[in-house]
Structures are given as structure tokens and as C-alpha cells.
Amino acid sequence: MLRSLYIQNYALIEKLDIGFDKGFSVITGETGAGKSIILGAIGLLLGQRADVKAIRRGASKCIIEAHFEISAYGMQPFFEEREMDYDDDCILRREVYASGKSRAFINDTPASLAQMKELGELLIDVHSQHQNLLLNKEGFQLNVLDLLAHNEEALAAYRKAYHEWKQAQQEMEVLMAQSEQAKADEDYIRFQLEQLEDAQLSPGEQEELEREADTLSHAEEIKAGLYRVDQALASDEGGVLTGLKDCQNIMRSLQRVYPVASELTGRLESSYIELKDIAQEISGKEEEIEFNPERLEEVNRRLNLIYTLQQKHRVATVDELLRLADEYREKLDAITSSDDRIEELKAQCAALHEKAKMQAAVLTQARTAAARRVEKEMAARLIPLGMPNVRFQVEMGTRKELGAHGADTVNFLFSANKNGTLQSISSVASGGEIARVMLSIKALIAGAVKLPTIVFDEIDTGVSGEIADRMADIMQEMGDSNRQVISITHLPQIAARGRAHYKVYKEDNETETNSHIRCLTDEERVEELAHMLSGATLTEAALNNARALLSRN
């Protein structure tokens, strides 16, 4: 529960440090004294967006810090799951700088606003007047039923099944769209593949053809050159081999008288053998080379086909064309197999949808039982609040399709009169009636959740007299069961019921206005209640009335 609240340089508050106790407490003050400022500061601790305009004029930053006693609420797993330091004295702090920068801390450790919001929602519930509008929101009404039915595990199971179903459905829709587009492109892909397959391309083919084309284009030149070299080497008249043979014979004859000639003879023999082999190879090459216009035309046609395909598909090699053909085959295979995959996904979606429906049915059963309980308890709570003829009904319906919260629709119907027609609350209830309904709902669900602190901001709007007494009974009852309830009120009947009474007030000096809050003494409470009863002028009757109100507490 909220132990203390510290505010510095926020709006009209220069510095405020106030402690709170368990049970039911009240806050009073004139309109504009700063009660909404305090709620705004608490909102920052709950992760709400910061406005630099709220920083006190002349200050570089504002600080809001709250201490919560959480030892009795079993919140240690929350901290462990998020690897955060746990302490029975939980500290939330928010700093907002004039530059627009904002920092959040949990137990003096930097935290994200999302973490602060998540933790804040477990620590404190601030019910402001605009929240009465939630009464007609289906999400709020479903949440009321789920809280009373303790549907946490069932909701988690449903949301898991719903998410799996929607994910499979999305995958199926994407695949169907892709398949439809692919089928539209199938004829084109098949034509391109057939064209590539008809070409019967092979790796390295282009390089070989280009070399052959060069050879065929220069056949006469190559043949003439090879003939000349052949003649130079092997001609019987002046050929290199003939001369080399003579040299070899001469050197062999000198070996007897000139030993050095032996080595030279060996070298000449090696040269002769190598040159003779070269000459024979050149002679063979010469015979192979012939001018073949038909073959050249065939090679050029083949190359032109390859070049055309490369240009068409914007690639540079035959290997790239072959890879492209493989891609086309894969696409055609995918088109063929996509129908099978779509059928598999349809079956999977149907199974997951059925699973989600079964989980939704579990929720429906629990919510229906909770709805009957709400009807009975709301009537029991509203009758003492000045609605003797009240009728409260929870209308359950079924969605056309499963939604994020299940298969159910819910509508809270209300009538305060015997002959009134049951209609949605916001359509028929007055402001005072809505306030009483909302307080009753809050009291109803308070027992189902372990929320440490509830703050009511003028939930008594539109009521007075005996009804205010009854509303005070409810808030006092809520604050007696290990829970802290703080009510901001303008009604003396409610203000008198608090265990502690805090007053918000403004003080002016020569240059500025400051808002303050303090806990009133017993005598100060009497005076404050008397002012609330009679206005600015204190009368003995008002003071006696105030003492009488306090004596009933």
C-alpha cells in the first residue's frame, strides 16, 4: 500500500512530502486547491506521458517518488521474472526534465516506462470521474467478469490458442496470395524454362565455342603459318632437322679424339628428338586445320543463341543461365506443391480454430456463472444506495467470429425504476447513478484482486445525504481488508468516515502560489467538516454537526 508520496517542482507544488496509512482515508480541499495535481503526479508514477509544462516555473526538473509497502501481496515473482531487485519497501520514482527528457526508477534502478506502468497497475488503481465512461465499454465489462471468475489461466490458454490460430490463418492467407500470383506467372515461367531447356546449355560451352570460332575464322592464316614452320623444321632441303642431324653426326665422329664432344652430342640428340616431336605435332595440326564455312556458321549460330539468352535474362555466363533455369524449376515445383501446403494449412487452421473455440467455451461458462453473481450482488449493493427498484442484468451474447477476448459479447443493462426498460447503463443512468454503480463494481471486484491501493477521485459526484453515507460504508468496508482506500471528496458524510483526513490547500506569497497537503488533527477535522457543511462562516450548529458526524466513525 502507499506509504508516502514526495513531489517536488510539479505544477503548483514546490515540495510536498506526505505519509499515508492503511484503511480508509479521505482528501478534501477547495476546487482548484491542487487535488488534481496530486493525482497527475501519481499518474506519472503509473507510466503516463510527461508534459514539461507541468514542471514548476523556473525549475530544471520535477521529481515524484512514492514508497509502497508490498510485503503482504506476494509480488516477489514479478521482480524475479524481470530480474529486478525486490524489497518490501518498493520505491517508484519519476524525474521529468525541462529539456523533455524523462527517467524512471524502480527501487533506485533505471526502468522503462512500460515496466513502471506494469508494476504501477499492480500497486494502485486511480479511479477518476472519466473512468465512469468505461461502464459502457465491452472490454471493461468482460474484464469485470473475468476478474470475478478468476479466469487468468483460462484467458492465458485461450489467448495462446487464439494467437496460434490467427498466425496459421495469416500464413495460409499469405501463401494463398503468393500462390495466386505465382499461378498468374506460371505460363511465363514455364515458357522461359522451356526456352532455356531447348537450348540444351552445358557448363563451359561458351568458352569452347568462342575458341573454335576464332580458329575457324582464321583457318587459312593458321594453316599457312603451320606449313611454313613445318617446312623450316622438316624440309629435306635446308630444314632445321636435317642440319641438326648432320651436326649430330659430326660431333659423334669427334668423340674419339675430343672427349668434350660426347656431352655436346648428347645435348644435340635431345634437341633433335624434341624438335622432331614438335615438327610432327605441327604437321598433325596442319592436317587438322581446314576452312569449314558450314561449321563456322553452326558455331556462330550457337553463340548467337547463347548471347541472345544472356542479353534477355541480363546475365553474363552460361552458368548463370543454368542457375536461372534451376530457379524456374523450383518456382514451378513450388506452384505445384503450394496447393498441397494450402490444404495442409486449411486443415491446421480448422483444428486450431476448434481448439480456440473449446478454450473460448471454458471462458463463456465461467463468465456466465460470474454474470449471474454480478447481477445478484450488484442489486444487493445498489438497493441500499437509494435504488430500491433497481434491476441490473448482464446480457451475454456470442460473436460472429472469435475475438482477442473470446467468443462472448457482454452488455451491462440497468434500470433504476419499476417500469423502466433495461438499457445500457450510459443510456439511462444519471451521473449520480453511474457513480454508485461504478463504486459497487469496484467494491465487487476489489475482493477478487490483490490490489493494495485504490484512489477514488470524487466518485460521490451527484449524490448526497443518506446515499453518501452508504457510499462511505462501502469505501470503509473496502479499506478494512488489508487494503488502502483513499477518497477525494466534497461530501462531509464521506470525509467524516476516514481514519485519516488530509486537506489540500493553496497559499500565496508575493511572487507565487503553492499547493500543500497535510493530515488534519482531530480539532482541525471538526473545523474542516463544519466548513464543508456550512460554508466559509463557521456556526456552532455546523461544528456540532461535524462532531456528530465524526462520532459515528
Q: Give 12-35 as a 3 state SS string.
A: CEEEEEEECCCEEEEEECCCCCCH
Is the CA virtual torsion 527, 530, 535, 541 positive or negative? negative
pLDDT for residue 479 is more than 90: no
For residue 51, the 8-state DSSP code is -
In what order do the strands lie in the sheet containing 13-19?
13-19, 2-10, 61-69, 89-97, 102-106, 109-111
Q: pLDDT at residue 35 above 90?
A: no
Q: Which residues pair with 397 in a beta bridge?
A: 409
Residue 136: the pLDDT is 64
Provide the pLDDT confidence category of residue 21 given band limits of 50, 70 and 90: confident
Give the residue extent of every domain in the chain.
2-134+449-519, 179-336
- Binned at pLDDT 50, 70 and 90, residue 465 comes out as confident
Distance of CA 505 to the CA centre of its chain: 44
Q: Where are the beta strands (DSSP E) in 20-148?
A: 23-28, 61-69, 89-97, 102-106, 109-111, 124-127
**pLDDT band per the 50, 70, 90 thresholds, residue 93:** very high
pLDDT tier for residue 131 given thresholds of 50, 70 and 90: low
Strands 423-424 and 23-28: unpaired
pLDDT at 322: 94
- Cα 348 to chain centroid, rounded: 25
pLDDT at 186: 79
Q: What is the DSSP string of 162-206?
A: HHHHHHHHHHHHHHHHHHHHHHHHHHHHHHHHHHHHHHT--TTHH
| DSSP at 494 | H
CATH number of 2-134+449-519, picked from 3.40.50.800, 3.90.380.10, 3.40.50.300, 3.90.1200.10: 3.40.50.300
Residues in CB range of 485: below 8 A, 6 or more apart: 23, 24, 25, 453, 454, 455, 456, 475, 476, 478, 479
pLDDT(488) > 70: yes
Question: Rounded CA gap, 475 and 19, in Å?
Answer: 20
What is the reported pLDDT for 308? 93
To which residue does cell 501519481 refer? Answer: 42
Contact (CB, 8 A) for 262 and 235: no
Instruction: Please indicate whether residue 134 or residue 169 has the higher confidence score (pLDDT).
Output: 169
Percent of the chain with pLDDT over 90: 39
Q: Which three cell numbers stand for residue 329?
A: 524449376
The count of residues in the chain is 553
Q: Output the average pLDDT for the chain.
A: 88
Model pLDDT for residues 388-441, shown as the tens digit of each residue: 899 999 999 999 999 999 999 999 998 888 887 888 887 777 778 888 888 888
Mean of the pLDDT values across residues 184-196? 86
Q: How confident is the model at residue 283 (pLDDT cuts 50, 70, 90)?
A: confident
Measured between alpha carbons, how far is residue 59 from residues 2, 103, 227 in Å?
A: 27, 16, 103
Query: Is the pLDDT score of 132 beyond 60?
Result: no
Reduced to 3 states, what is the DSSP secondary structure of residue 343?
A: helix
pLDDT (tens digit, 9 = 90+) per residue, 135-152? 667 788 898 899 889 898
Q: What does the pLDDT average to over 500-514?
A: 88
Q: How confident is the model at residue 549 (pLDDT cuts 50, 70, 90)?
A: confident
Residue 342 has pLDDT above 90, yes or no: no
Local confidence band at 539 (pLDDT 50, 70, 90 cut-offs)? confident
Per-residue pLDDT band for 62 (boundaries 50, 70, 90) equals very high
pLDDT of residue 47: 87
CB count in 10 Å sphere of residue 346: 14
Query: Which tops the pLDDT comparison, 27 or 449?
Result: 27
CB 486 within 8 A of CB 20: yes
pLDDT of residue 362: 95
Question: Which neighbouring-strand residues pair with 395?
Answer: 411
At 168, is the pLDDT very low, low, confident or very high (cuts 50, 70, 90)? very high
pLDDT in the model for residue 363: 95
d(CA 354, CA 360): 10
Number of H helices, E strands in the chain: 17, 15
User: What is the structure's pLDDT at 184?
Assistant: 74
| Residue 481 banded pLDDT, cuts 50, 70, 90 | low
Banded pLDDT at 303 (limits 50, 70, 90): very high
Does residue 133 surpass a pLDDT of 60?
A: no
- If you average pLDDT over residues 224-253, what whole number do you get? 86
User: What would the grid cell of residue 516 be?
Assistant: 500543500
